Structure 1
C-alpha cells in the first residue's frame, strides 16, 4: 500500500501553531455560511467544552434544510504551543464521537493532550446529531435474538421478515434523511468543522469505520490533509457483502487466538486441546439454537445469536478474555447465559432498562446507503453460505446481520473503489495482526491504495491498536500527529 507521497502543501513547520485562515477564501461555492460559522463553546463538565455546528442536509442544495452536529473538545493543556484540533471518530458507523472523547479523551498521549484540542463529534444521524431512529427497544430485542443460522425455509423467512421490518421502519420514521447520512456527506461535514474551528488543515484519528470516513475525507480534500491516523482499517474496495464475509473471517482468527490462550489456563471450560475447544464452542451455539440459555438479568432467553454476539464482543479487547472464560464456564457447565448476554448488550449499547442508543439504527442507515446491496435474499444468501464455510462460528451471524440492506428504501449506484487521495500528505494506516472486526489484510490494502499511505503494524490481539497501551504504537502515532512525519513504512510493533 502506501508509497510515501509528498504533500502538496507549502513547507510550513507542521508543529507551529497555525494562524486562523480566512474561511471566505477557502469555502466551496455556496457553502460560505457554513464554513464561516463561529463556534460557541460552553462548559459541559469535567473540563470539557461542547458546541453545535450547522451543516446542510443536502450539499447539492445547501440553501435548504440543515442538520445540527454535536461536538465536544478537551482543550489543549499548553495553549502557547497549541498546534490545532485533533478530530476523532471511534468507528461504527454509529459510534458517538462525543461519548468517545468524554470517556477516553484523557487517555490520548501526553504530547497530544498538550498540543491539541482533542475533538469529538457525532456524525450526521448519530447520537445527538439529528439521530436516525427506526426501531424501539422491544423491536431491537427481537431483531438481535432472531436465529441467524436458519435451518429451514421457516427460519429463513423469519430472518427476512425482521430485516424487512427494520428497513420499513426506517422508511417510515426517517425517510427524508436516509439518502444523506452516508460517508461521503459525513466527510464533507468534517471539512466544514475544520474550517469552523479555525484549522487550516485536518489532523485526525479514526478507528475502525473511522478509517473509512478518514479515507473519504482525504479523497475529497487531499489538499487539506495535515496528518491522518487510520487505525483498524476498512478496505473501501470491498463490496458490502464481501466486507461482512471478510469481517467474519477476522472474528474466526481472533477466536482461535483466544482458544489457544484459554487451553493453557487452568480451569479453561473448553479443555486443553485447541481443536476440541473450538468444537465445544460450536456445540454451545447449537445447544442455544435448540434451547436458549437462561439468564438472571431479565426474562430474555439467550439465543444462539446472543451467545455468538457475546463471544464476539469479548474478542474486541484482550483484557476481556478472562471475562469470556468465565462467561463460557457458566454457559457450558450451568446453561447460564447471563454473562454472555451482558457482553452482547454492551456490543449493541443496550441499557438494562431495555432502551438502546441509536448506534444500530445509524449503523444500518450508513452501511446500507454507502454501497450497493444484493437485490434479494436469495442472492444475499450466497454470501452467507460463503461466510459460513470460511468462518463456521461467526459467518452466518455476521452476514445475516446486514440483511435489512436488501430491503433498504434508498439505493446507491456508487460502486466500491480504491481510494488514492492523490496529493495528500503522508497518511498513517495502522493494522493489528489478529484484529477481529477489521482484518489485518484491510490495513495492508488501504495502505497500498493510498498514494501517500504508510503502514504501521501491531503483532497483537483485539480491535485497533492505539489507546491499547502498546508503547511502540503510542510513540509512533503521537510523534506523527505532532510532527506530521510518519514512521518508516512497514514498521512492526510487538
Structure 2
C-alpha cells in the first residue's frame, strides 16, 4: 500500500550518516550515476542449450551470465570518495523477460548488478545476494555500502552481489512523476481539513497515476513483486549458484518471502531483516506504521527530556513539533530554493529522522530551527527521504514505490475509505495517523492491473532466519513472527533496539546471522539480542 510518508525501507545497514516516504535503510545522500555493464548478444537460452544452469524448480528461460566490468570509480562515487582497500568492484547486466508468465525475447528488462569481492577472499562459500528494500531501493548501492560494513568473516567467504530490481535506478527505471508534482505532493498538508483540499490531493494523485499509465501502458502491471522474484532466480542462474544465499532488508523481506514460496528448493540460506507481513491488509499495515512512528517519536521525546543539553528541541519535543507544524501551516518559512516549508515538508523530515536513532540530534535541531523561521536543517533531512537533489530533481524511488506497491495491492481501498480513516486516525494517532491514512489514495486511483504476491508456506525450503527489531517504526516487530509463521520454516531472532532493521549493528546479531550464513547453523530458538 502507498502511504503519504511511510516506506518499508529507510535505514539500511551500510550507509554512513548524513541528513537524508513510505512502508518500508542507511542514511546518506546517494549519488545517482549509471553503472554500465555489457549485455550479452543472446538474451536467454533454453535450460538445455548450454547457458547458465537452471534448477529443476526454476521456471522460464535460463538467463545468460553478465559480462563483468570494473566499476571501482562508480563505487567510489557511491561511497562519497573512498572505498575500502583490498576490494574489487565489478558491474554488469542481465536480461530477463518482462513477463515471466509469457516470456517474449522482444520484450525484456535489463537488471543491473554490482559484485564486490575481497581480494583476500578464502574459504569461499558463494555469492551473497542483497536487497535494501523499498520498493525502490538500489541493491547496487547497497553492495557498495556493505563492502565497508560487513564483517570480515562474511567478506572473506562471499561475493556480495547487489542488484537494482526491475524499474529501479539502473534497471530500466520507471520514471513518470514530474519534479513539480513531487514538490506539490510532499508539500501538501498531511491532514487536509476541508473537502476542497482533500479533493485537490486526490486529483494530484490521480494525475500522477495517469502519467504512469500513459507512459507505460500494459507494462505498468509488470513491476509487481512476483515478477521481481523470478528475476531474483534469474540472478541465481546467471551467477552459476545452484542454491541462493540472500540477505533482504525491509521490503526485501517481502521479495525474499515471495521467492521462498516460488522456489523453495533453490534456497541455501535466507536472512530477512525488518520483516513485512505479507498476509496483512494494506490498511492494517498503514495503521501498524502509524502506531510504530508514534512510539518512535515518543522515544525521541523521552530522549530530549532526559538529555536536554543535547536536544535543541527542548525538554518537551512534542510541543516543539506541534509548534513547527503550526508554523508550516500558518506562516511557512521559505527554503533557500524558494519552496514554502509547509507542515507536509516538516512532517516528512520527522518521518525520515525516526528511521534511525543516529538522526535524533539533527531532528531536534531541525524542529527547533523551523519554529524560529530557519528551515535549512529540516529540509536537508526531508529531501533525503525521496532523494531530491540540490537542483530539485528526484530519483525514481517514489515512482517505483507507488508502481510496485499498487501493482501488488489487491485489497481494494477507496477514496471514501481514506477520508474516513483520516478522521479516525487523527484522534487515535495525532501526529502521524492522518498522513498514513491519506496514503490510501495512491493505490485507490492506480490504473494498472493488480498482481498480488502469494501468501503461503515455503514448503520444502530450509530454515529461514527472520530478524525483527523491537522498536522498529516502519516494519513493526509483531510482523516478524507473522512472516516466520506464514513461511512455516522461519526462525525468529529479536533485537531489542531502536530503528529500522538490525544486521549488522551489534555483536549478538552479527554472530547469529554470520554463523547461519556461513555454516547454516540456525540461531537458538527465541534468541533475543540486547540493544547494545
Q: How far apart, CA to CA, are the structure 1 residues paired with 2:244 and 2:116?
A: 17
- Partner residue in 1 for 2:496: 459
For normalisation by structure 2, the TM-score amounts to 0.83
Pairing partner for 2:515 from 474, 479, 492: 479
- The answer as to 2:104 corresponding to 1:63 is yes
Corresponding residue SS for 1:55 = strand
Check conservation: 2:60, 2:101, Cα contact below 8 A. no
List gaps (5 residues or longer) in structure 2. Answer: 1-49, 76-87
Pairing partner for 1:313 from 348, 352, 355: 352
**CA deviation vs aligned residue, 1:113-163 (integer Å, no higher than 9, x gap):** 110000100000111101111112122111111122110111111110111
Pairing partner for 2:471 from 421, 434, 440: 434
Pairing partner for 1:103 from 132, 135, 145: 145
- The answer as to 2:73 corresponding to 1:51 is no
- Partner residue in 2 for 1:488: 524
Larger CA deviation: 354-363 vs 234-243? 234-243
After superposition, the Cα gap between the structure-2 partners of 1:22 and 1:358, relative to the gap in structure 1 and judged at 3 Å, is: closer
Q: CA deviation at 1:286?
A: 2.9
Q: CA deviation at 1:451?
A: 1.1
Q: How far apart, CA to CA, are the structure 2 residues paired with 1:343 and 1:30?
A: 43
Q: How far apart, CA to CA, are the structure 2 residues paired with 1:77 and 1:483?
A: 22
- Partner residue in 1 for 2:68: 41
Q: How far apart, CA to CA, are the structure 2 residues paired with 1:200 and 1:78?
A: 24
Pairing partner for 1:222 from 254, 264, 272: 264
Q: How far apart, CA to CA, are the structure 2 residues paired with 1:413 and 1:111?
A: 39
Q: How far apart, CA to CA, are the structure 2 residues paired with 1:249 and 1:360?
A: 23
Q: How far apart, CA to CA, are the structure 2 residues paired with 1:437 and 1:260?
A: 19
- The answer as to 2:455 corresponding to 1:396 is no
- Partner residue in 2 for 1:263: 305
Corresponding residue SS for 1:234 = coil
Pairing partner for 2:332 from 277, 287, 292: 292
- The answer as to 2:229 corresponding to 1:193 is no
**CA deviation vs aligned residue, 1:203-235 (integer Å, no higher than 9, x gap):** 111111011111111111111111111111111
Corresponding residue SS for 1:217 = helix
- The answer as to 2:410 corresponding to 1:372 is yes
- The answer as to 2:205 corresponding to 1:163 is yes
Q: CA deviation at 1:63?
A: 2.4
Q: How far apart, CA to CA, are the structure 2 residues paired with 1:379 and 1:303?
A: 25
Q: How far apart, CA to CA, are the structure 2 residues paired with 1:226 and 1:128?
A: 27
Q: CA deviation at 1:241?
A: 2.4
Q: CA deviation at 1:449?
A: 1.9
How many residues are matched? 465
Check conservation: 1:148, 1:159, Cα contact below 8 A. no
**CA deviation vs aligned residue, 1:405-456 (integer Å, no higher than 9, x gap):** 1111113264x76442122111111111111111111112212222111111
Calculate the aligned-residue CA RMSD, in Å: 2.0
After superposition, the Cα gap between the structure-2 partners of 1:147 and 1:204, relative to the gap in structure 1 and judged at 3 Å, is: same
Q: How far apart, CA to CA, are the structure 2 residues paired with 1:386 and 1:111?
A: 50
Q: How far apart, CA to CA, are the structure 1 residues paired with 2:220 and 2:103?
A: 17
- Partner residue in 1 for 2:393: 355
List gaps (5 residues or longer) in structure 1. Answer: 1-19
- Partner residue in 1 for 2:181: 139
Q: How far apart, CA to CA, are the structure 1 residues paired with 2:59 and 2:132?
A: 31
- Partner residue in 1 for 2:289: 247
- The answer as to 2:190 corresponding to 1:151 is no
After superposition, the Cα gap between the structure-2 partners of 1:428 and 1:389, relative to the gap in structure 1 and judged at 3 Å, is: farther
Check conservation: 1:90, 1:209, Cα contact below 8 A. yes
Corresponding residue SS for 2:338 = coil
